[in-house]
Structures are given as structure tokens and as C-alpha cells.
A and B are shown apart, each in its own frame.
Chain A
Amino acid sequence: MSEALLQVENLSVTFRTQQGDVEAVRDISFDIDRGQTVALVGESGSGKSVTALSILRLHDEQVVSYPAGTIRYDGKNLLTLDEDTMRAYRGGKIAMIFQEPMTSLNPVHKIGAQLKESLLVHKQLSPEEATANAVSLLDRVGIPDPQQRMNDYPHTLSGGQRQRVMIAMALACKPDLLIADEPTTALDVTIQKQILELLMDLQREENLSILLITHNLNLVRRYADRVCVMQHGKLVEQADSETLFAAPEDDYTKYLLDSEPDSRIATVQPESESIVSAQNVRCHFPITRGFFNKQVDVVKAVDDVDLQLHKGETLGIVGESGSGKTTLGMALLRLTESSGRIRFRGHPISDYAEKQMRPLRRYFQVVFQDPFSSLSPRMTVDQIVSEGLKLHFPDMTRSQRQHKIIETLDEVGLDEDVLWRYPHEFSGGQRQRIAIARTMVLEPEVVMLDEPTSALDVSVQKQVLTLLADLQQKHQLSYLFISHDLRVVKAMSHRVIVMRSGKIVEAGDTEQVLEHPAADYTRQLAEAALYS
């Protein structure tokens, strides 16, 4: 067998910080052969991105050092090359695509110009040749009407199309190795699948080697030849895909494979009362133009949605980004202007002014997706959790309040001594627990969960879902579970509604909708998400 294209041997990467040196990657070795796809899998902080950036030496070398190991590309040790030689490798031989297609393209330049730039620099083509080359690249990555698209700005493209353009840019100089750092994490499930299929097609045609970095182990099952599992900067297991998924050896790998959400559906009393009901909910945002605000168009974020939520039940709302599911949630909470009738605990809250609504808010709470932006960074946990209590239970004494807070924190699995700490001192999962404690302390009846686990690592995701299910069972809570992740929704909800462009495509029992979808769209979604 010929020598591998990339050989990483005993690599360690150290960050110099004020608290001393931190070893982010410790003694890892792996090879990538030509035309092979190797996946680097691990949760956040496992050192997978650090490893990828080391291959291109994109770290700030003031802070990062490589105390041990080699990275050989075609036999040459990249770590000892000088900066000028290294530059020829970046983009030329090894290309990289990043997670966030929104920020990887420069918003003020046309796509064509951005694509041509590297062709002009690296390959010294004439402008005409570069244009022709760029058009054919866009065509290759499946952008429709590439000639026209050359003159478009990045903001006119969808997320998936932007990622395609990024891939086109990465391929412009015909690299041998493509490093894809979470290439599909920011994309909708159906588009994720398309992008990965595209990468695999390109790999077959060009004999590319791909290093795929991801936190999603199931994604890898289909596309990678070899899988390396990382944890805390160490490589814990490395094997062929088939072997690894058939017989994982390391405990951590087993744990990761096992962190698929289990079905945690609480039992609902039959004939339980309806607690939230909505008819013909619409959120239309007019697009106005000119000095006199003439209305030229309307965005129908939510269009004629009906729903019912019963006591103790979870209603899943699924859809891809832009389908209006979060806007619907905000409308039900009366945080966005909407028309239509919404009843909550028998109150016609769609007619209520904010003042009338306020006392009811205690019973209708919300947990947001991003635990980093949903907690005020300047408030301690004590302040965050006690705020609602002070408002809705003004008669409580200080010690009663303290008691209640500690009890709630205990319920969500946090210690008493977190009280004086600030949100930034916690991990994502702990922060989400704080956000849950903030809502639970008010003893709500309905909680809207807006993608509560999407920003969390898979293993933490499972813990948070378990916690939510336990709380539901214990307090007979009703959940409105908004998510794009069908597996999570499947594990949590009794009934589900599928939304697309503001409209309900399909609604019914979870089992029925996801296993035997009636609408084409639901079928596509289910196929892409569950790989069934």
C-alpha cells in the first residue's frame, strides 16, 4: 500500500495562558490515505478543531506551540516549514471549509469576485479564464444558473447555497485534502444531507481526501471510511467505520453511541382539559418602502395556524429554519403581534393588553435555545432565579424565597453553592439547567421549549431531556416543544405539528406523523433526519 497522504504522529498542542500551559491535544496519531474520508468525532472541547487547525498551522503561534509530534503531508513535516512555504500549502494543497457559511463569505463582495480571487492569486490565470473556471466550479457544486449567480452578493443565497459556494472556493485550486470543520451543523437537515452527498460525489470524481470534523456520530456512519473518536484532547478509539459502529470498544464511544434520546413520553390522563388553544393565528409582517411607508409586500411568518395543547401533554412543533415555528411560539406567548384567537386557561389572551397578561405569564413560561444569551451575564444565579418569585409571589419572605430557590435548584440538579456565581462560570448544560430553574420556580403550567437542546453536546442533550421529562411527569406540565431535530421531538412529544413557510403541513400523533407521513414534505424531513 502506498504511503498515506497525511500522517499525524504523536501530535500534542499546547496553549500558553495566564494560568499556565494547557494541553489541548495530547499525543494523537492518525493517517489519511488518498481518496479516503476520515472523521474526527468528539464533543465540544475535545480538541478536534484544534487538531484540524494545526494541520494548516492556522493557530496564533504566539500562543500555541507543538511540544511533540509531526504532521507529515506527502512526507514533508508541516510543523517545521517556514511561513512562506506553508502559505502555498494552505488553499493550494490543503483546503478548509468552516461551520458558519454566514460569516465565511465577505458580505460586500460578489460571489464571482470572491471565487476568482484565489484563482487569480494561486493559479495566475487571466481574468477571462478565471471567470470561466469560476462558473464551472459553481456548476460543479450544484448552484443553479451559475452565470447569473456570479454577480450576486452572499446575502441573496440561502445557507445551503453559501456552503456550496464555500466548497467551490475550497476546490478552486484542486487541493488533495479537504478539511471540513462541522460543514453542516448550521444547516437544516434536508440540506445537510445534500451537502454531504455533494462532498462524497466530489471525492469520487477528484480522488479527494476528506477530514470530516463533527460532533454527530450518526452522520459519520454513512460517510466516513475511518472514525477517530476524541475526548479531552486524547484519541480514545480509532477504527474502520463498520467495525466501530458494530463493536465499539471504548466506554466513551459506547456512551456517545448511546446518547441518542430515549423515548421519554409521559403518560397523559385521557380527556385531560385543553390548556392552550389557538385558532387562525397569523403573524404577517408588512414590507414597506419609500418615505410614506407604502406597503409593497407581506411576509407571512405564521399563516392560519390552529393548535390545541392539553394538560400534561407535549406538543412538538417541527420545521426547518424560517418555517415560522419560533414566531408561532412568540405569538402564543403574546410577545409578537398576531391576529387570531388564543385562549390560555380559559382566558382569551389574544384580546388582553400587556397589563392583563402579566399575572398570567407566571403559568406560561419559556426556555430558549441558546443558554449563553438567555441568561443576563451581569446577574448572579440567585438574582436570575429569584426575580420571577419577587414579582409573582410578593408576599414571600426572604427566607421562604431562599428555601424555594434552593429546592428548585435541587430539582434541576444544581447545588446550593451556585447561588452567588455568574452564568459565565457554568457549562452549557448547567446554564440550561439554570434557565429551566428560572421557569420552574414559578410553578408554571405550560412551558414553551424553543430548541432547548440544540446548542448542547449530545450527552448533555440527553441529560437535559431526561430532566425535562421528569419535571413534566412530576408537575403535570404541558410542553410546547419547538425543534428542528426530529429525533428529539420523537422522543419527547405526544403529538406533533409540521410547519413549512408559516403553514401547518401535517399534524397528528407523533408516531403516525413520523412513521407514516401523509405529506411529501414530512417524508423528506423524516428521511433526512432519521436516516430511516
Chain B
Amino acid sequence: MSAQVQKQIVNLSPSQRAWMRFRSNRRGYYSLWLFSILLVLSLFAEVLCNDKPLLISYDGEWYSPVFHAYPETTFGGDFETEADYSDPYVRELISSGDNWFIDPLIPYSYNTINFVSELPNPAPPSENNMLGTDDRGRDVFARLLYGFRISVLFALSLTAIGVLIGIVAGAVQGYFSGKTDLVMQRLIEVWSSMPELYLLIIFSSIFQPSIWLLIILLSMFGWMGLSDYVRAEFLRGRNLDYVRAAKAMGLSNFAIMRHHLLPNSMTPVITFLPFRISGSILALTSLDFLGLGVPPSTPSLGELLSQGKENIEAWWLSLSTFLVLVGTLMLLIFIGEALREALDTRKN
């Protein structure tokens, strides 16, 4: 490395240097790109996979059914209810004469049932449904795309909440130690002995099952493993000289925890991050597989897997879901690996 390049590196700010280290891990870098593209695509799932046309030109006026609901009467139909664009009669209305419409790439939403299919459900991949349909005649590709989005968003929020609570609890325990630590540790032990799965079953029969209920229930228990590690790191760090120096400087407890102890306690947090995210995806998938997860109509990878189990001859169900799941988990782990290396300031 020439002296000039060396000099340039020295002048970079810490976050720029972390980004450089991240990029030097090619596998993680490309995984991040691929994952981001997939996530962004899935965020626009309504535009990609929908049973409503993107744009309709009817009688010289433009309509966008994806974003607005129009009654069938708007297009000269009979019913006051929202137009069903898969109905051949409605299609006829919006394409006759000068009228035209643009369909999305995949003309099915996650809950669109293909009534016009000539094959019995579940139908194998065909011209109409490129990954086939499930046992109720819904397009598998659309369900996978929506299911991927729900899984990833669920996992990210569950991880974020769990990490946040875990860090706060572990930090308070480790930093103040003594009686605070003792009391909190006992409470955690009591809390962690609650039967989690049992509670989930009970709660899903009391409340209307929903994704929010799952997030709340799972994050109530998910933080404990992490808080132990953070606590240990804080306990180790609180007596180091740089913390004493910060105390002697007059910094408040919060500032010491935030600026001195936290950055030096992040190793377990960062190390477990990819595994926590993939673990959350797996948790949702398995709960759905068991029928304890999201409500029935919601697109979910677990529900597709369980359909695949019941229709074992419909290989397109289990195979495609399996590949999406494995691909997602692998990308996350590669990214996590690169992230961990990037945040290690002792490595250049």
C-alpha cells in the first residue's frame, strides 16, 4: 500500500472505515445488495403481484385501482361494490373501445383465487401461474413474495425490539451491579421459566391471532438470552481504567454506559444479530406451520410449507418455499458475518 493511500485511510471517519471493511468482504457485500433488492421488490409487492390493473383508461379518464377502490358502476357495471377485475365481464368493460388497462407483472394478489384455471388445485406451474397454485387455487409466486416480506419485516422488528430490551436490561444490571443486578437477575430467572409455547397457544385462543400479538409475545421472551451477554460485558468493563477515567472526568452514568461501555460490549450483540434475525424468521415459519401463527388468510412461508406437507405430490409448493427460506437465511448470515468484521475496529 502506498503512503498516499495509507494517508487517505487515516483521514477517513470511523463510519467510512467501517464501510470500507464491510465492502472488502465480497460475499457479504453482494449478499447485502441481493437482499436489499429483494426486500425493496417485496415492499412494492402490491405493484408487482396484484389482481387489480395498475392503470385503467376509461372514457378518457385515468384510474389506478391499486391505490383506490372504485365501484363496478364506475366502469359501467351493475354492482355498487368494488369492481372484481378478474371477472371476465369487468375485463370486457375496461378494454372495449378506446378503453385500455395495464396489468401488473403477475396478475394475482396473495389471496386471489384463480377460478378460471383448467387444472385441479393445487395446480403445477403453468403459463398462468409460474410457480403453480396452492390447494385453494392461489398463486404460489404471489404468496411467496408477500410471505417473504412479512417474514423479513417481522424478523427485523422482533430483533430490533429484542436487542433493544436486551441491551437496556443487561446494561443496567452490569453497570449498577450489586443489589440491582441481584434483583433483576432473579426476576429474569422467574420470567424465563414461563412456558413460552404454552402461553402462545393460550393467547392465540383468547385474542384474535395477529402478527402484532405474535411480535409482542415473542419479544417479551426473546431478549433474555442477549441480556446475559451484555450484562457480562458491562460487568467486565465497569472496572476498566477508561471507565474510571470517564467517571473522573465527570461524565454521567448514562454517558458512560452509552459512549464507553456500550461500544465495547457490542461484540455479542453483533455476533448474534444475524442468527437472531434468521431465528425470528424460523420462529414465525414454524409457528405458522403449526397453525399457531398469523391468521389463516395472511401469506406466510410456514403456511405454504404445511400445505406442501399435506400435498406431498405438489412438489412446487414445498420446493419453492424451501428455496426462498434457505436463500433468505443464507443471505442474512453472510451479511451478518461481514457486518461483524466491519465493526471490529481492531482489524484493518
Q: Which residues of A line the B interface, CB within 8 A? A: 330, 333, 335, 357-362, 364-366, 368-370, 373-380, 383, 387-388, 391-392, 417, 420-422, 424, 435, 438, 442
Query: Could you tell me if A388 and B249 are in contact, using CB atoms closer than 8 angstroms?
Result: yes
Indicate the size class of the contact surface on chain B. 20 to 34
Chain B residue at minimum C-beta to C-beta distance from A365: B248
| Known A-B contacts A335-B248, A358-B250, A359-B250; A376 and B12 likewise in contact (beta carbons under 8 Å) | no
Q: Which residues of chain A are within 8 angstroms of B259 by Cβ–Cβ distance?
A: 376, 379, 383, 387
- Residue among A359, A378, A420 making CB contact with B264, cutoff 8 Å: A378
- Determine the main DSSP class of B at the interface with A: helix
| Known A-B contacts A359-B250, A365-B249, A366-B245; A377 and B264 likewise in contact (beta carbons under 8 Å) | yes
Beta-carbon contacts under 8 Å, B240-267 to A: 240-242, 244-252, 255, 259-260, 263-264, 266
- Residue among A360, A362, A370, A388 making CB contact with B241, cutoff 8 Å: A370
- Residue among A361, A383, A424 making CB contact with B250, cutoff 8 Å: A361
How far does the alpha carbon of A362 sit from the alpha carbon of B240 in the complex, in Å?
A: 20
Residue B190, interface by CB 8 Å: no
Query: Could you tell me if A391 and B250 are in contact, using CB atoms closer than 8 angstroms?
Result: yes
Chain A residue at minimum C-beta to C-beta distance from B263: A378
Q: A198 to nearest B CB, angstroms?
A: 34
Going nearest first, the 10 A-B pairs with the smallest beta carbon separation are A361-B250, A374-B241, A378-B263, A368-B241, A358-B250, A366-B248, A376-B242, A373-B241, A388-B249, A422-B345
Query: Could you tell me if B249 and A442 are in contact, using CB atoms closer than 8 angstroms?
Result: yes
Q: Which residues of chain B are within 8 angstroms of A364 by Cβ–Cβ distance?
A: 248
Residue B346, interface by CB 8 Å: yes
How far does the alpha carbon of A316 sit from the alpha carbon of B294 in the complex, in Å?
A: 70
Chain A residue at minimum C-beta to C-beta distance from B237: A376
- Residue among B13, B260, B346 making CB contact with A422, cutoff 8 Å: B346
Chain B residue at minimum C-beta to C-beta distance from A421: B10
Query: Could you tell me if B13 and A391 are in contact, using CB atoms closer than 8 angstroms?
Result: no
A/B interface sample: 28 pairs, CB < 8 A: A335-B244, A358-B250, A359-B250, A364-B248, A366-B244, A369-B241, A373-B240, A373-B241, A374-B240, A374-B244, A375-B242, A376-B242, A377-B264, A377-B346, A378-B263, A379-B259, A379-B263, A387-B246, A391-B250, A392-B249, A417-B10, A420-B10, A420-B11, A420-B12, A421-B10, A424-B345, A438-B245, A442-B249
Q: A441 to nearest B CB, angstroms?
A: 10
Residue B327, interface by CB 8 Å: no
Q: B259 to nearest A CB, angstroms?
A: 7
Chain A residue at minimum C-beta to C-beta distance from B240: A373
Query: Could you tell me if A373 and B248 are in contact, using CB atoms closer than 8 angstroms?
Result: no
Q: Which residues of chain B are within 8 angstroms of A377 by Cβ–Cβ distance?
A: 264, 345-346
Residue B14, interface by CB 8 Å: yes
Q: Which residues of chain B are within 8 angstroms of A417 by Cβ–Cβ distance?
A: 7, 10-11
Q: Which residues of chain A are within 8 angstroms of B245 by Cβ–Cβ distance?
A: 366, 368, 374, 435, 438
Query: Could you tell me if B248 and A376 are in contact, using CB atoms closer than 8 angstroms?
Result: no
Q: Which residues of B line the A interface, CB within 8 A? A: 7, 10-14, 240-242, 244-252, 255, 259-260, 263-264, 266, 345-346
Query: Could you tell me if A376 and B10 are in contact, using CB atoms closer than 8 angstroms?
Result: no
Q: Which residues of chain B are within 8 angstroms of A388 by Cβ–Cβ distance?
A: 249-250
Q: Which residues of chain B are within 8 angstroms of A362 by Cβ–Cβ distance?
A: 249-250
Q: Which residues of chain A are within 8 angstroms of B13 by Cβ–Cβ distance?
A: 420
The interface centre, meaning the residue of B10, B14, B250, B255 with most chain A CB atoms within 10 A of its CB, is B250
Q: Which residues of chain A are within 8 angstroms of B249 by Cβ–Cβ distance?
A: 361-362, 365, 387-388, 391-392, 438, 442
| Known A-B contacts A335-B244, A374-B245; A380 and B14 likewise in contact (beta carbons under 8 Å) | yes
| Known A-B contacts A374-B245, A377-B264; A387 and B251 likewise in contact (beta carbons under 8 Å) | yes
How far does the alpha carbon of A297 sit from the alpha carbon of B245 in the complex, in Å?
A: 31
How far does the alpha carbon of A357 sit from the alpha carbon of B245 in the complex, in Å?
A: 15
Q: Which residues of chain A are within 8 angstroms of B14 by Cβ–Cβ distance?
A: 380, 420
Chain B residue at minimum C-beta to C-beta distance from A424: B346
Chain A residue at minimum C-beta to C-beta distance from B246: A387
Q: Which residues of chain A are within 8 angstroms of B345 by Cβ–Cβ distance?
A: 377-378, 422, 424
Q: Which residues of chain B are within 8 angstroms of A421 by Cβ–Cβ distance?
A: 10
The interface centre, meaning the residue of B10, B245, B255, B259 with most chain A CB atoms within 10 A of its CB, is B245
Q: Which residues of chain B are within 8 angstroms of A378 by Cβ–Cβ distance?
A: 263-264, 266, 345
How far does the alpha carbon of A240 sit from the alpha carbon of B45 in the complex, in Å?
A: 84
Chain B residue at minimum C-beta to C-beta distance from A389: B249
| Known A-B contacts A379-B259, A379-B263; A373 and B11 likewise in contact (beta carbons under 8 Å) | no
How far does the alpha carbon of A360 sit from the alpha carbon of B266 in the complex, in Å?
A: 32
Can you add 18 more A-B contacts, CB < 8 Å, to A359-B250, A391-B249? Answer: A335-B244, A335-B247, A365-B249, A366-B244, A368-B241, A368-B245, A377-B345, A377-B346, A387-B259, A388-B249, A388-B250, A391-B251, A391-B255, A417-B10, A417-B11, A420-B11, A422-B345, A438-B245
How far does the alpha carbon of A362 sit from the alpha carbon of B12 in the complex, in Å?
A: 30
How far does the alpha carbon of A333 sit from the alpha carbon of B248 in the complex, in Å?
A: 7
Q: Which residues of chain A are within 8 angstroms of B263 by Cβ–Cβ distance?
A: 376, 378-379
How far does the alpha carbon of A21 sit from the alpha carbon of B89 in the complex, in Å?
A: 79
How far does the alpha carbon of A387 sit from the alpha carbon of B260 in the complex, in Å?
A: 10
